[in-house]
A and B are shown apart, each in its own frame.
Chain A
């Protein structure tokens, strides 16, 4: 039993709903009590969907438990099939129904309904939403394609050449309640079209049952969101021999790698390595002189696996930031995130406790947070600018404008979204120049005013630097104090770096065994850290 105050992911049956609601002609009968119908609002309110998710809840009550809940399931299955006339039916249960073991999937299969029925077993007490979505997609694809003849050895991803047609691929993984999936699909279609590659089926978003049947016709599968589509891609590879791309095209480097990977699989000449620099503004904007101030910005990254891996690469290699924290709530993606963190000299935080994430954030005192909506709130409390890069979805994450994360336009969107919360280089310079003018209000930040009360009102936390000091005995015995002269000198430093200078100076003083920090200590520390 674990205490949870807030959760990044819903239960696994919500993942199943995401698959059903993304598709056309698929209905989901969910054996669940009435309260579970709350999940509809995730689609109708957060995504502003104008249709109800295609879900029939059995809404059994306590008084039904003594009687025949199996009959209740059958009645709802029958009514749902009559009313909605789906092309395929998903049948499953939520956490409570799992306990009463009616096996709704088996019941529905025995009703002779004459349509494909996929029985879902999603263990609600050990798994979560993304796992449930992945499992549902996998069970649905497998269930519908099981009868198709398959010979994995005979699949040739370059057969398009002989057949004198364009190469074609499936895009797997985009779904409702996935981060910017709607726009990513448009962007990836554009990208592939530019290279003469046809998109056959997008799955699950807007896919029909007929589309599922056409999945094996593609030369290669593109796995866009491994959390949702990896198991399905693996099964398609094993069963039909279709290879699958593993690079998620978020960021310039990754999009370029993705194109190379896909072209190689299809037997095409890989595109020009400079395509990104021509098609996206991110590379030049990042090189331009105003961006010099981005150098070494300390960034803390937390979210789902796919987006934090991409963010870590973009931050460190394309924007010149320094990644000071990296973590995910996606346990299924813990391994690659750990590896990425190690590569950056960090230890990954794998946790679904938002308070632990906030504590980790506070400890490393980043200058920018890339996280979920929850990290946005935590960062706000800590007075740190933040950009949202990952689910869980919030109504703000479904913008009216075109706003992909993937491909060349996605890189443009990312540049703007991550850099705007920070102060622009020229502004930073000007504020430094004019800060002694009487008009200047200390704590001013030009456009977003992100600095919360904490930074101004409270002394800087010392914890981050304590951790980096090796001599623990020294720490324990040394109490630091700032002299008036030291404080005065510190005040001359622009406020937005003052906290950092204070911490560095204190670390230095501790290392040196000094107890009083005067202006000289400050200059010594400055020299020490620039050396």
Chain B
């Protein structure tokens, strides 16, 4: 690996792990995510999700009050009371995630103990699981890692040979990938998280894992501890990454090259057609990725290798060299990979470099646009179906659209 790995610290401009509740709760419609935290946590999730359209959402916040902090009320008893009320109101809930926050971590509220006691009380009617999505420990997508790794101990044991796809995918994308794996000759495929929270896949020595997302450090470690093998591959973003990702499974299954080519080559040809118009817009353009979603490295690899973009700097909230090994190998020599953030210094570098496109969070997008720098919000990347060879064109379109729009508006400004 020859990327130029750098580090910086300072003020950061990123979401905390609570934000991942926004997509996790949609993945598992029979689960409820109860944040134990403050009004800030509640406000964060509703603001990040722009949620106002629900009848009654499957996430909420047990807001700590001064009584809880002053010890006037026993916070554990209070939490149990809130959970009982909630479950009485929402009898369809099968799994309850108690999600730790910054305040609950700082006052050392023992959510593990609370979960244990609630599990005893509920006697299997609802399973209570806990993890932390706090901003003092987690960044954005790490919340999903926390939720999934908390579920790993609940997975039944099994030695059956199977392919386990780990990480939330859009349902349609998941269906498509499963179809393709079956076409390749892999028949036993499960997903984690499942679509029903109670439909947990078994795990054991026969399990081979493909990570669909690059932010699942704890989850993959725990799966490995349960005997699963984590297949090493780039992540399924872009045609090339997706192909290598599928090939990793196919090779582990001993599927011959001819069958792999017969199955995937036509898809690759189609993807090349779909990518071409976007490649024309993106090729030679310079992109700067600010750290947030943890998808930055695979995206940079895709944009550079398949869309011809030049990488000015690739930020990442943290760097797990093990999980990112295949991605780092594919980056051009000397690519600036910046782990961590000093948002002010980073913005100085953005202004100095004047890139053609910046990937950043929603707090920074309009201010950069106002300076004439086109942007792409990173949060859109975690909500859009972008995985797989068939989605490569759509993924490229997310980046070419802002540039296309700037061209249209610039043309409109001509006298």
Contacts and interface: CB of A to CB of B under 8 A. Distances in A.
Contacts of B17: 35
Contacts of A35: 14-19, 44, 102, 134-135
Contacts of A484: none
B363 interface: yes
Given A41-B48, A45-B366, A58-B11, 15 more contacts: A1-B68, A1-B81, A3-B34, A5-B60, A7-B46, A34-B13, A34-B14, A34-B139, A35-B17, A35-B135, A38-B48, A40-B363, A51-B367, A99-B106, A374-B52
A9 B38 CA distance: 12
B103 interface: yes
Interface string B364-382: 1111011000000000000
Interface in B243-280: none
B39 A100 contact: no
Interface string B173-208: 000000000000000000000000000000000000
Given A3-B61, A33-B136, A34-B135, A125 B69 contact: yes
A95 B46 contact: no
Interface in A53-70: 56-62, 65
Contacts of B361: 37, 41
Contacts of A7: 39, 42-43, 46
A355 interface: yes
A83 interface: yes
Nearest to A99: B106
Interface string B211-252: 000000000000000000000000000000000000000000
B40 A11 contact: yes
Contacts of B47: 10, 38-39, 41-42
B121 interface: no
Given A6-B51, A35-B135, A95 B363 contact: no
Contacts of A373: 52
A56 B86 contact: no
5 contacts: A3-B60, A33-B16, A37-B13, A65-B106, A96-B135
Contacts, number: 191
Contact of A44 (B11, B53, B362): B362
Contacts of A222: none
A394 B66 contact: no
- Which one of A39, A44, A56, A381 has the greatest number of beta carbons of chain B within 10 Å? A44
Interface stretch (B71-79, B300-308, B325-333, B388-396): B71-79
Nearest to B70: A125
A366 to B, nearest CB: 19
Contact of B52 (A36, A124, A377): A377
A53 to B, nearest CB: 8
A442 interface: no
Contacts of A37: 12-15, 361, 363
A528 B411 CA distance: 68
B55 interface: yes
A470 interface: no
Contacts of B103: 95-96, 99
Contact of B12 (A34, A50, A94, A95): A34
A430 to B, nearest CB: 34
Contacts of B44: 35-36, 38
A4 B39 contact: yes
A102 B347 CA distance: 29
B30 interface: no
A5 B134 contact: no
Contacts of B75: 1
A34 B16 contact: yes
A49 interface: yes
A1 B62 contact: yes
A123 interface: yes
A315 B19 CA distance: 40
Given A40-B364, A41-B362, A10 B65 contact: no
A39 B105 CA distance: 21
Nearest to A1: B78
Interface of B: 10-19, 34, 37-40, 42-44, 46-48, 51-53, 55-57, 59-66, 68-69, 73, 75, 78-79, 81-82, 85-86, 102-103, 105-107, 134-137, 139, 344, 361-367, 369-370
Nearest to A49: B366
A60 to B, nearest CB: 7
B366 A48 contact: yes
A95 B42 CA distance: 12
Contacts of A58: 11
A1 B106 contact: no
Interface in A369-396: 373-374, 377, 381, 394
A76 B369 CA distance: 26
A1 B73 contact: yes
A14 interface: yes
A79 interface: yes
- Which one of B16, B82, B85, B135 has the greatest number of beta carbons of chain A within 10 Å? B135
A2 B63 contact: yes
Given A7-B42, A62-B137, A52 B68 contact: no
A62 B136 contact: yes
A126 interface: yes
Contacts of B105: 62
A49 B367 CA distance: 7
A11 B39 contact: yes
B65 A125 contact: yes
A128 interface: yes
A76 B12 CA distance: 11
B363 A4 contact: no
Nearest to B369: A50
A394 B14 contact: no
7 closest A-B pairs (Cβ-Cβ)? A35-B16, A50-B370, A40-B363, A35-B135, A33-B135, A96-B102, A1-B78
Interface in A318-366: 355
B371 to A, nearest CB: 8
Contacts of A100: 106
A281 B46 CA distance: 39
Nearest to A51: B367
A50 B372 CA distance: 10
A44 B55 contact: no
A62 B69 CA distance: 19
A4 B136 contact: no
- Which one of B18, B43, B46, B64 has the greatest number of beta carbons of chain A within 10 Å? B43
Nearest to A125: B66
A76 B9 CA distance: 12
A4 B56 CA distance: 11
- Which one of A39, A52, A76 has the greatest number of beta carbons of chain B within 10 Å? A52
Contacts of A128: 39
B60 A4 contact: yes
B70 to A, nearest CB: 9
B39 A52 contact: no
A341 B166 CA distance: 55
A377 B62 contact: no
